[in-house]
Amino acid sequence: MMIESTGQKVLKVLLYVFLIITAAIMLLPFLWMLSASLKQDRDVFTFPIQWIPAEPEWANYSRIWTQIPLLTYILNTVKLTIIVTLLQLFTSSFAAYAFSKLRFKGRNALFLGYIATIAVPWQAYMVPQFMMLRSMGLNNTHLAIIILQAFSAFGVFMMKQFYEGVPTELCEAARIDGMTEYGIYARIMLPLAKPALSTLTIFTFVNTWNDFLGPYIYLTRDQLKTIQLGLRSFIGQYSSEYGLIMAGSVVTMIPVIAVFLALQKYFVEGVASSGLKG
């Protein structure tokens, strides 16, 4: 592996060509979004596509802050996202430990039931759920959104799959050393599950951040609304002002990208950080 042969060099070139093409395909729509966000509305959908606007319309970015209470929406979303993500991380990683490393009665049935409910589309039980939460006095509260988002089967399933990759011998050894199950969870599993935890953090963060339907049904008061609601009401009201819509889309994307960048180094620091090499 030390000496690179010509074949490997060719392979490497091909690899980069592939990566650059892939990156372009991934990035192109966002470049368009960025370029559209700097255009006047009438120029957004013109052909051929003009990638660099002749006169950048920077005003789109200042207008979105004044057209809707964007700052309130962002603060609400940040609050909800942080609470949901923390709850989700804790409850999922906790429950997944039992599903993966403990044997108990009804485990498989319970687990399958958990997974299966993911398959039920929200549209089907939204009305009963809404009536239930409203009768509990949770309509127009952030608590409703937290409750809906924080206890998902998805997180449990994901964490369980990662735990299964951790050798059972580690747990056994800890048990012999007199550690309780809670201790094993906290001191052995969690540190090892860093890549999975950071992945789950990102997914939960993105989901909560981008969630539209939940807030749409439960949050009708302006001071409670989230950023996606803002963006959609924006699109509804300024449906012809695509420059503005794109500017809003760009702004709402930035926090998620930031979180991704902050967490992505953990994807590569796992049980065995050397991984697969050349």
Partner 1 sequence: MKKTLVALLVALMAMTSVFAAGGSEDTSADGTTTLTWAIWDYATTPYYDALINAYEAANPNVNVEVIDLGSADYQTALQIQLSGGGSEFDVVAVKDIPGYNNLVKAGLLVDLAPLAQADGLDTSAYGGIVEQVSVGDSFYELPFRSDFWVVFYNKDLFDAAGVPYPTNDMTFEEYDALARQMTSGSGSSKVYGAHYHTWRSAIQLFGILDGEHQITDGGDYSYLKPYYEMALAQQADGVVQDYATLKTSNIHYSGVFYNESVAMENMGSWFIATLIAQTKAGANDAENWGIVKYPHAEGVEPGTTLGTITALAIPSSTDKQDAAWDFVKFVCGEEGAKVLAGTGNFPALSNDEINDIIAATPGFPQDEQSKEALNVAQLYLEMPLHDKSAEIEVVLNEYHDQIMTGNMSVDDGLAEMGRRVDEVLAN
Partner 2 sequence: MFSRKEKEGPAFTANGLPIDRSIRIEKSQAARRAEVNRNLVAYSFIAPNFIGFAVFTLVPIVFAFALAFLNWNGNTEMTWAGLDNFKYIFTNEMFLASLKNTFVYTIGTVPLTLVVSLFLAIVLNQKVRGRNFFRTVSFFPYVGSLVAITAVWNMLFNPSMGPVNEILIRLGVENPPRWIADNDWAMFTIVLFSVWKYMGYYMVIYLAGLQGINSELYEAASIDGVNTWQKFWYVTLPQLKNTTFFILIMLTIQCFKVYDIVYMLAGAGSGALSEATTVLVYEIYNSAFRYWRLGVASAEALVLFAIVLVVTIVQFRLDKD
Residue with smaller CB distance to partner 1, 117 or 220: 220
**Would you state the structure tokens that stand for residue 14, as one six-digit string?**
């091909």
Interacting residue with partner 2 among 3, 52, 71, 119 (CB under 8 A): 119
Q: Where does the chain have alpha helices with state H?
A: 6-36, 41-44, 59-67, 70-101, 107-118, 122-135, 142-150, 153-163, 168-176, 181-184, 190-192, 194-210, 213-218, 227-237, 242-263
Classify the phi-psi angles of 106: left when phi > 0, otherwise alpha if psi is within -120 to 50, otherwise beta. left
**Footprint of partner 1 on residues 175-234 (CB under 8 A)?**
216-217, 220-222, 229, 232-233
Q: Closer CB to partner 1, residue 172 or residue 222?
A: 222
Of 87-95, 129-137, 200-208, 251-259, which segment contacts partner 1 by CB under 8 A?
129-137
Question: Contact between 63 and partner 1 (CB under 8 A)?
Answer: no
In three-state form (DSSP H/G/I as H, E/B as E, the rest C), the secondary structure along 51-119 is: CCCCCCCCHHHHHHHHHCCHHHHHHHHHHHHHHHHHHHHHHHHHHHHHHHHCCCCCHHHHHHHHHHHHC
Is residue 80 a contact residue for partner 2 (CB under 8 A)?
Answer: no
Q: Nearer Cβ to partner 2, position 202 or 224? A: 202
x-marked contacts with partner 1 along 22-61 as a string, rule CB under 8 A: -------------------xx--xx---------------
Q: Check binding of 134 to partner 1 (CB under 8 A).
A: yes
Exactly one of 2, 123, 135, 221 binds partner 2 (CB under 8 A); that residue is 123
Task: Build a one-symbol-per-residue string for 107-126: x at contacts with partner 1 by CB under 8 A, - elsewhere.
Answer: -------------------x
Residues 224 and 142: beta-carbon distance below 8 Å: yes
